[in-house]
Structure 1
């Protein structure tokens, strides 16, 4: 009996719950779970992860659009550059040995976990944010829309492109890139930032997943139930997230990411 038919939707549910609880960056553990449990390489796991993230983030983006908190023009602009660079990352992932990819992925996880933990700790302690000059992307109070200018466009272009490249290379979606960039370079509310990030992820991950299917690099038999499970898990996580979300949960998640990063780097170094 092929137990992957049962295992993959279960893993998808877990990833979806994490996304529902922690927001756009929860999908970063999708690939590590596929690596440890299903014994895939990074290149094999990345397309499966992208399909699951595409479906789950699309639902979140639609809800954000319905609630009028998704900045669809900014999402579309960032996604254009993400779509351009996502195939480059996918192409490289198929040509780079698995061990270096595992080490690169673990370094990414270390960065995300430490940054997330520090941010949550500052929020718990009520520490004031560091003063900085006004961001380039500001909401026009009269129009209720972003005022576009060259520095704003440049910041959004870079964040979208980087998110797209990493989503293709590592299958991570890119929420951990987009959310901090939007916080730094815009004055959007926290809810609007998450919704806008999900809008970008929905487009980039969908493009990456379609490219993987067209190029024959997608294991559809695993990806389909895994993605369906992620969608179910996302809806469950959103319900629990209404009661459990907060900086303390973010700290717990960051510790989990850090532990996974240690496991990945050990696995990567052992295969060199």
Structure 2
């Protein structure tokens, strides 16, 4: 387990650096979410997901669906870490004719399974894909591929998310795992002031899911949760959800303390300071 934690933590650190580099291209963006979700993305791509970097459309791949299309900056960083897109291409983020638009588009980016711009649709699509994979193989046993759906806590405001959750339980989609980034922030303010969803673990359990809640910035806790979810995995069974408490801007104290953190505007002179803080933190220093 120690080797796994170290490997995933190192990948998360590189994902954070990639996100800062991309953010500097535009001078702004959803950088805080990428930093906060980096450990979740690293756990998936460095430890869980079956894929072929040189063949993103491989039929046997696990599917990772980014429902939160504005988190694309973090997803691109993870795709670069996985070797699916070149690291050098990250410099084109958000530019004209780039394959890396600011909101994820499946028609543009290798490894991007869905266009996730309209929040609340991702889990519905994931349910359809998981059900389709079950029926794909002629033997009736279905494909062994799994579906991972990344959602935000703000998406739990959407009724379509809960309709999909009911559907997943009804169809016994044991090949589906949802991940919810609970960073307590959305575009209109703090999540609990927009629409309270607590007690969120109990809600998912009431909808028939195997639910776990962990510190989403604790790699060891994330990996243990994925291991537990794997115990539920089956073509027919109980869907799993991992509820991940994260901090916007994680690893960069300057950004962790920003009041308006949903869409960040970062001054030109601050980018290098952000990198220094991130490097210092990864080396066990205070970084302030």
Same fold (TM over 0.5): no
Say which structure is richer in helix. Answer: 1
Say which structure is richer in strand. Answer: 2
Which structure would you say has the larger RCO, counting Cα contacts within 8 Å and 6 or more residues apart?
A: 1
